[in-house]
C-alpha cells in the first residue's frame, strides 16, 4: 500500500509528522511536496493556506486526487484544512470516468480518500452524485440515450427520490399541439418525448420555480446538415436537459423545502424524407407561427413549446431555461462563461450569486427590441434565425417571444460549457454537468420568487 498525506502547514497533524515537515511549514507560501522517506507515508504535501471557500476546497480535493491517482493507493487530507465534505466532493468529481464501453477500463490506483474520519464514500449523497448522473447522460452515445430511453431513465432514477415524473409521448404531444418541438423530431425514426418532473415540497400554494432544458439527444442539423468533422460531439446537445434533471436529482436527494418543476424536451434532429425543410412554417403551441429557415437552429423550437407548456400548466413565478443553444455564444465568451439573457436584473443577481458558489461563471448579454426585429419573417410571425450577426442574442429574442414579459425569466446558453476539452481540477475531459450546482444553489436560496422584471424589457 502506497500512502499519501496532505497537511496544512503548522497544523496538529503536520507537527505530528515530525521535524522536517515542521521546517517545510515555516517558509512556504503555496504548497510543497516533500520528498523524503517517512515511516508512515510515501508522499507528503504541505499546503500553506486553508481553502477560502467551498469552491476552492473542491478544487483542492480535485487537484490532490489528480496528483496522486496513479501514485498512491490511499490519500489522507488534514482535518485542519476545513471544508471536509467539499474536499471529498472535489476528489469524487475529479475521479469521474465514463469507461463502461471499454474492455479494459483505465482504473485509478487511488481507491481510498479521507479527510479526518470522513471518507469519499460519504459524499455519495452530495451534489457530486447528481453531477455524475448528469455527466453520464451527456456522455452516453446517441444510440443509447435517445428520447425514449432518456425518458425511461429519468423515471427510473428520479421517481425513487419522491419526484413525480410525467412522461408525455409523441402521440400526446401531437394532441396537445407542441408542433414546433415535434417538427424537430419528425425526420427521426425515434419518437419525441417531453418529461415533466414535479417537486412540490415547499409552501402550499407557493408558485414554483421552473427549470427548462433542451434535450436534443443527437443533432445532425437536419436538412441543414452540419459538416461531418466533429459531428460526434453533437451527442452533448442535450447538456441543458442534463443540467435540469441533475438539479432535480439534487433537489430531491437533499429534500429541499421548495416548489420546483423541471421540464425537458427530448428529440433527435435527423435529415430524412419526412424531415422539416428550410422555408417550412409551423404553428407553435402558443399559436404563434414560425418560418424555419435553418433546421440546425432547432433547440429554440424545442424550448419554445415547453416554455409555453410549463407557463400554461404551472404558472411558475420564475423560469430558467438552459441549452447548448448557439455557436455564437462560444465565439463571444469562449469556454470561460455561459451567456445569461434575462428580463430581470433581480434574477440576474441571484443567478450570478448561485453560480459563484458553484464555481460556474455567467455573463449577462444584451437584449432589446432592435435584436427582436432581426427575426421578423416576411410570411410568418417570426423566423428561427436572424442572419449572421448577433446569433446568441437573436436566439434569446426568439425564446423571449414565448415568455410572459412580466414573469422573471432567464436563458442560459451553455454551448461552450457542457463539454470540457482539456480537464480542470474537478472536471476530467468530457461531460461537465455544467449548471447542476448553480441551479441547485439558485433554488436553495431565498427570494427566488416574485422577482421584479425590468421596464425596458417590456416589449
Pick 298 or 348: Cβ nearer Zn ion: 298
Pick 92 or 219: Cβ nearer Zn ion: 219
CA–centroid distance for 338 within its chain: 10
Q: How far is the CB of 241 from Zn ion (least distance, A)?
A: 14
Does the annotation count 429 as an active-site position? Answer: no
203-207: long-range contacts, CB 8 A cutoff, minimum separation 24: 203/259, 206/259, 206/317, 206/449, 207/259, 207/315, 207/316, 207/317, 207/449, 207/450
Taking the C-alpha atoms of residue 157 and residue 152, their distance in angstroms, rounded to an integer, is 9
Q: How far is the CB of 269 from Zn ion (least distance, A)?
A: 6
Q: Which residue is nearest to Zn ion (CB)?
A: 296
| Ranges of H-type helices in 29-83 | 54-68
Residues at the contact surface with Zn ion, assessed by CB under 5 A: 219, 296, 298
- Residue 98, class by beta-carbon neighbours within 10 Å (0-12 exposed, 13-18 middle, 19+ buried)? middle
Taking the C-alpha atoms of residue 145 and residue 44, their distance in angstroms, rounded to an integer, is 43
Cell numbers that stand for 2 in this block: 502506497
Q: 226, 356, 364, 424: which is the annotated catalytic residue?
A: 226
Longest dimension (CA), the chain: 81
Q: How far is the CB of 268 from Zn ion (least distance, A)?
A: 11
Pick 327 or 368: Cβ nearer Zn ion: 327
Does the annotation count 356 as an active-site position? Answer: no
Q: How far is the CB of 383 from Zn ion (least distance, A)?
A: 15
Task: Please answer whether residues 365 and 339 qualify as being in contact, where contact means their C-beta atoms are separated by less than 8 angstroms.
Answer: yes
Task: Please answer whether residues 261 and 179 qualify as being in contact, where contact means their C-beta atoms are separated by less than 8 angstroms.
Answer: no
Q: 54, 132, 300, 401: which is the annotated catalytic residue?
A: 300
Q: How far is the CB of 237 from Zn ion (least distance, A)?
A: 7
Pick 178 or 223: Cβ nearer Zn ion: 223
Pick 51 or 147: Cβ nearer Zn ion: 147
Taking the C-alpha atoms of residue 431 and residue 423, their distance in angstroms, rounded to an integer, is 10
Pick 68 or 218: Cβ nearer Zn ion: 218
Which residues, in sequence order, are bridge partners of residue 281? 291
Q: How far is the CB of 296 from Zn ion (least distance, A)?
A: 4
Taking the C-alpha atoms of residue 449 and residue 442, their distance in angstroms, rounded to an integer, is 11
Catalytically active residues, by annotation: 226, 300
Amino acid at each position: 500500500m502506497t500512502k499519501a498525506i496532505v497537511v496544512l502547514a503548522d497544523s496538529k497533524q503536520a507537527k505530528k509528522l515530525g521535524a522536517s515537515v515542521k521546517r517545510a511549514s515555516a517558509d512556504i507560501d503555496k504548497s510543497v511536496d516533500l520528498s523524503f522517506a517517512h515511516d508512515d507515508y510515501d508522499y507528503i504535501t504541505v499546503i500553506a493556506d486553508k481553502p477560502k471557500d467551498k469552491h476552492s476546497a473542491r478544487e483542492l480535493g480535485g487537484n490532490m486526487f489528480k496528483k496522486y491517482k496513479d501514485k498512491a493507493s490511499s490519500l489522507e487530507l488534514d482535518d485542519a484544512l476545513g471544508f471536509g465534505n467539499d474536499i471529498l466532493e472535489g476528489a469524487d468529481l475529479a475521479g469521474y470516468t465514463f469507461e463502461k464501453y471499454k474492455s479494459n477500463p483505465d482504473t485509478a490506483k487511488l481507491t481510498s480518500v479521507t479527510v479526518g474520519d470522513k471518507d469519499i464514500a460519504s459524499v455519495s449523497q452530495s451534489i457530486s452524485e447528481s453531477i455524475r448522473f448528469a455527466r453520464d447522460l451527456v456522455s452516453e452515445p446517441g444510440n443509447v440515450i435517445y428520447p425514449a430511453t432518456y425518458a425511461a431513465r429519468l423515471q427510473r432514477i428520479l421517481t425513487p427520490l419522491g419526484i413525480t415524473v410525467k412522461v408525455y409521448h409523441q402521440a400526446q404531444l401531437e394532441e396537445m399541439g407542441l408542433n414546433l418541438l415535434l417538427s424537430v423530431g419528425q425526420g427521426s425514426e425515434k419518437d419525441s418525448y417531453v418529461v415533466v418532473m414535479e417537486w412540490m415540497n415547499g409552501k402550499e400554494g407557493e408558485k414554483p420555480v421552473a427549470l427548462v432544458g433542451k434535450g436534443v439527444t443527437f443533432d445532425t442539423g437536419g436538412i441543414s446538415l452540419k459538416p461531418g468533422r466533429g459531428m460526434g460531439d453533437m451527442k452533448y446537445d442535450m447538456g441543458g436537459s442534463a443540467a435540469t434533471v441533475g438539479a432535480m436529482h439534487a433537489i430531491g436527494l437533499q429534500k429541499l423545502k421548495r416548489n420546483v418543476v423541471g421540464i425537458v424536451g427530448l428529440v433527435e434532429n435527423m435529415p430524412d424524407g419526412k424531415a422539416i425543410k428550410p422555408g417550412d412554417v409551423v404553428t407553435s403551441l402558443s399559436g404563434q407561427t414560425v418560418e424555419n429557415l435553418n433546421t440546425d437552429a432547432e433547440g429554440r423550437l424545442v424550448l419554445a413549446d415547453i416554455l409555453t407548456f410549463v407557463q400554461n400548466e404551472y404558472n411558475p413565478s420564475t423560469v430558467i431555461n438552459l441549452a447548448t443553444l448557439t455557436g455564437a455564444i462560444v465565439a463571444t465568451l469562449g469556454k470561460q462563461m455561459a451567456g445569461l439573457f434575462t428580463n430581470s436584473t433581480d434574477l440576474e443577481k441571484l443567478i450570478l450569486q448561485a453560480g459563484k458558489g458553484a464555481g460556474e461563471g455567467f455573463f449577462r448579454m444584451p437584449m432589446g427590441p432592435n435584436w427582436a426585429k432581426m427575426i421578423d419573417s416576411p410570411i410568418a410571425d417570426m423566423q428561427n434565425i436572424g442572419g449572421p450577426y448577433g446569433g446568441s442574442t437573436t436566439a434569446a429574442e426568439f425564446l423571449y417571444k414565448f415568455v410572459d414579459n412580466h414573469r422573471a425569466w432567464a436563458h442560459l446558453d451553455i454551448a461552450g460549457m457542457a463539454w470540457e476539452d482539456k480537464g480542470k481540477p474537478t472536471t476530467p475531459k468530457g461531460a461537465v454537468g455544467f449548471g447542476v450546482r448553480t441551479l441547485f444553489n439558485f433554488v436553495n436560496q431565498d427570494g427566488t420568487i416574485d422577482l421584479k422584471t425590468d421596464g425596458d424589457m417590456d416589449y
